[in-house]
């Protein structure tokens, strides 16, 4: 699992509230990613980071922001959650030595 943890693992929130999901890695990987997984859409890239304070948008970044103040932590924030953001969110890192992408256990978010 490449030492990736996500928190919380499950969250139920109401429309309009802010939500922050945390991804933590212990192996000093430079690249980190946030994906969402939805039926019929597979996994889609939300944001990614290529170093501390270096982040950029993915395919479905509207409504999301990210921050990376430390190598080990990559935060995904929904400023004002909407029902369309109900999904399972996965964090991932890339092991550049092997080109392998490893995923965290996921966070199941429900926005009511």
Partner 1 sequence: SQQGEEDPQALSIQEGENATMNCSYKTSINNLQWYRQNSGRGLVHLILIRSNEREKHSGRLRVTLDTSKKSSSLLITASRAADTASYFCATPSSFQGAQKLVFGQGTRLTINP
Chain residues binding partner 1 by CB under 8 A are 31, 33, 40, 42-43, 45, 48, 50, 56-59, 90, 92, 94, 98-106
Q: Which is nearer to partner 1, 15 or 101 (CB)?
A: 101
Closest approach, Cβ 56 to partner 1, in A, equals: 6
Nearest distance, CB of residue 48 and partner 1, angstroms: 5
Q: Which two tokens stand for residue 72?
A: 């080990």
Please state, in angstroms and rounded to a whole number, the distance separating the CA atoms of residues 76 and 92. 12
Q: Alpha-carbon distance 3 to 112, whole Å?
A: 31
Q: Of the two residues 1 and 28, which places its CB atom closer to partner 1 in the complex? A: 1
Q: Which of 69, 66, 70 is nearest to 56 (CA)?
A: 66
The whole-angstrom separation of Cα 47 and Cα 78 is: 12
**Encoded tokens for 110:** 């429900």
Least distance (Å) between residue 31 CB and partner 1: 7
Nearer to partner 1 (CB atom), residue 19 or residue 46 = 46
């Amino acid at each position: 699992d490449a030492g990736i943890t996500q928190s919380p693992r499950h969250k139920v929130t109401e429309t309009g509230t802010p939500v922050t999901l945390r991804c933590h890695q212990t192996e000093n990987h430079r690249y980190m990613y946030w994906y969402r997984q939805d039926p019929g859409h597979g996994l889609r890239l939300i944001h990614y980071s290529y170093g501390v304070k270096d982040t950029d948008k993915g395919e479905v970044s509207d409504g999301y922001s990210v921050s990376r103040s430390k190598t080990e932590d990559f935060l995904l924030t929904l400023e004002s959650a909407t029902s369309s953001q109900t999904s399972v969110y996965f964090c991932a890192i890339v092991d550049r030595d092997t080109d392998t992408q490893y995923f965290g256990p996921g966070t199941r978010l429900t926005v009511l």
